Each structure stands twice: as C-alpha cells, then as structure tokens.
Structure 1
Amino acid sequence: HIAEHNDTDVAAVGNWETGRNLPKTENLLKTAAFLRVDPVALGKGEVVFLDDADNVADAEIVTDAAPLPGGPMDIELLGAAVGGDDGDFTFNGEVAGYVQRPPGIAHLRKVFALHVLSDSMVPRYEPGEMLYCGGRDAVPGDHVVIEMFPEENERNGKAFIKKLVKRTAAELVVEQYNPPKSLTFNRYAIKHVWRVIPLKELLGY
C-alpha cells in the first residue's frame, strides 16, 4: 500500500523497512501522510501518530532542508595579491566582492573579509581560506592582519597574517607557524592592525 501511495516500487519500500537505505524527504512525507504519523518525528526514527487526520492531507512536499539563517551579503571582500619573500600578501586597494555576514557579528561595524594567500600560518589558516577581520582591538594571543605603510617606490605596503605575542610603544612582536619563528615590527611602520575574528565568535558562541 505504501508503494502504491508513493508511486514507488515495492523493492524500494522493502529497503526502507530493512534499513538498507533511507527514503528521500519527499517520500518520507508521503509515507507519513499515508500512515497518519508526524513526518518530523518519522525523520528522526520515531513514530508519533497524529490525532487530527485532516491536517495530514495538507502536508507540504519539501524537497530541501531549510537553510541555516544567514545574514546579508554586506561584508566587503578585499582584494589582495600574493606578497614577495618578506610579505604574506598586499592589499590591492579594491573590493573584490561581498560575502555573507555570519550571525555572530550581525551588528559589528567596520568588518571586512580576505582570503589567505600564503602558507605561513598553516595549519591554523590554509591558503584559500576566508578570514573575517575587525571588531575590538587585538590583544596578545589574537591572530592579526598587519598592514605596513608602503616603502619607497611601492604603491601598497606589505601585509601579514600572524599571531600577536606582545605590543609595546615602539614595536609589535608576532609569531608565525610555518616555519615557526618570531617577527618584530616597528610600530611606526605599521599602517593598520586588525584582529582576525575567531570562528566561534562568527557563529555566535
């Protein structure tokens, strides 16, 4: 009867019953309607009978699960170019596009995103990974994006992704993972320091 109601073959229903495979969402809802049980509970492996059979006939056929709530596509993805031997990358001064705002930073202003281009922070950040930067000022222990003032004959200053170790009036001490080493920057040569927002904060934890 279930096979006839769902317009599927008996063998397919037999596979559902024996657990060899699972029905698609559409077939799960049709089966729930036929048996007069709660489709949400059935999807979890539970059987909850519906007292009001009239509601069953109105069950919607849903083909895809609802997406997770996401924010607007209003975060600037800043363009960057691969740096030389002594820089992770350089900002090219352009906006490459816009990316979605994660729920944890729904109301945070002055946030931007960028793609990791170097392997100096592997395994923490892989090349191609997208980072969100901004929010509160960075403190030791935070990962940071550092942009230097351009040197002579340079249009854009070098930029780095590192872990902040220490900050004094005259210098910034950071570390990288690949290869492991410590670096010191002159504070007066630094144009900007942005904090990399951790994943758990982006998700609102």
Structure 2
Amino acid sequence: MIFREKFKQDMVITRNMKLSERIKQARKDARLTQDQMAEQLGITKGAVSQWEAGKTKPRNGTLKKIAKITGKPVVWLMDLNDVISFDEIGRSSLEKSSIPVYGQSATGSNDEIDLHQQLFSIACPPQLYGVKNVYALLIPDNMMSPRYELGEIIFIDPTRHARTDDYVVIQIRNDKTSRLQAFIGKLVRHNSEELVIRHLNPGLALYFSHEQILSIGLIVISSTIR
C-alpha cells in the first residue's frame, strides 16, 4: 500500500515535470553521476547531459533502460500527454466517462501485468461508450513490438468475440496470490482443451487451460506515442 501511494504521488509530480527534469531526478534518486549512468547505458556522458538539458530526448527503448537502472517505473519517466493521443481518443469525451489504465509488470515476471495496480484513468473512447468492463493497458515492455510499442495504450473490449490472429488480453487469477493478472498476445489457438497466445518479441507462446481463464478481451483501439 505504501508503494502504491508513493507511485501515485510520483505520477502527480511527473505530470508537472519536463522529461529532462524527470531523467535528472531519476538519476539523482538512484545516486548516479552522469558518468555512471552513461556507462551503464553504454552511451556517452554528453548524451546524458543533452537529455538533462532538454536539448535531445532518449528513444523509448532507452527510457526502459533508464527505468531499470534507476528503479523508476517506465511510466514514471514518460510524459502521459505524449503517450495519450487525444486526437484519436477525442477531447470531447474527457468529461463524459473514464476507464482504468493498468500497466505494471507483475513482480518477477516480464510477461504478466498486475491488474490490482491502477496507474491512472483515461477518457473512454466514444467507440466504447456503454460497453461493460472496458479497461486499458499501458504497454510496459517491448513484448508485442512492432505491433504495440513500449508506452502505447491499448483499449480492451471483453465483450467482443476474438478469432485466430486477433490481438487479445487474457485475464487469469494467480493461484498462489489470488491476484488478477493479464497477458497480452496474438491468439494462436482456442479450443475445448486450451488457449494459446504468442508474444511477438520474442516469439514466445503462452498456454492456458480453460480453468485458468477469467476473460478474453479483444484489443480494439491503440493510442500511439506521437
């Protein structure tokens, strides 16, 4: 609970900080010099200095590396105003309704997303008004690249029927912790015995029995970083 409240507080602070300031703050919180950060990232000190001066910006893949070495969530380092394409979502919908956005990887796993930790809320796209149990995920990794990149927001409709080769989100309940978790992938097979999805990067197949599955949601919209 303490971590969750701290995360929310950090997100509020992040919204009021420029990317250059967030990178610098993350480095200082990790007690790293510019030289040390550059060495761990395999780049020059000058590149780090340019980021912190606001003259250049790191690529999305580099943001993930910065998050890893500084201990910050990737989303903390991202400018949510850049991540969310309001032209696609519709600015007029902001005051009508909102849906939860999740995106933290489950502890000890790069495949699972913890659905007990909401990152923030976002306006519901007009196409999904009235649909029950709609939610969104902020892609926390490059597991679905190049289809969905790190930092994209995907919107899931759990009421739509998914077919082979559709991109879906599978919800299960962890047997050990009883926590809701989600898996993103391309639907490979769904029969009376099992459901199989595949990550794109790398091409890892995940197998689920019907007893594990709580819901199968179709990814219907994605919002890209501009």
Give the TM-score taking structure 2 as reference length.
0.51
Query: 2:140, 2:160 → 1: CA distance?
Result: 24
Is 2:154 the counterpart of 1:131? yes
- Compute the displacement of 1:87 (Å): 2.7
Deviations 1:135-187 (A, max 9, x none): 412222211111222122x1414421101121111200111100013222112
Structure 1 match to 2:173: 149
After TM superposition, the structure 1 = structure 2 runs for residues 98-117 of structure 1, keeping only pairs within 5 Å, are: 98-117=121-140
Q: What count of residue pairs does the alignment treat as equivalent?
A: 132
1:81 maps to which residue? 104
Structure 1 distance, partners of 2:163, 2:153, is 21
Note the residue ranges of structure 1 that are not aligned, 5 or more in a row.
1-66, 201-205
Q: Residues of 2 paired with 1:106 and 1:191: CA distance?
A: 23
Instruction: Report the structure, 1 or 2, having the larger helix content.
Output: 2
1:95 Cα deviation (Å)? 4.4
Q: Does 1:70 align with 2:95?
A: no
Runs of 4 or more above 6 Å deviation: none
- Secondary structure of the residue aligned to 2:92 is coil
Confirm whether residue 173 of structure 1 aligns to residue 165 of structure 2: no
Residue 186 of structure 2 is aligned with which of 154, 163, 166? Answer: 163
SS of equivalent to 1:160? strand
Equivalence map 1:2-81=2 (5 Å): 70-73=92-95, 74-81=97-104
Aligned match of 1:119: 142
Q: CA deviation at 1:199?
A: 4.8
RMSD: 2.5
Give me the identity figure in percent.
25
Which has the larger Rg? 1
Q: How big is each residue's C-alpha offset from its partner over 1:26-72, in whole Å with a ceiling of 9 and x where there is no partner?
A: xxxxxxxxxxxxxxxxxxxxxxxxxxxxxxxxxxxxxxxxx866324
Q: Distance in 1 between matches of 2:125 and 2:205?
A: 32
Residues 170, 215 of structure 2: 8 Å contact kept: yes
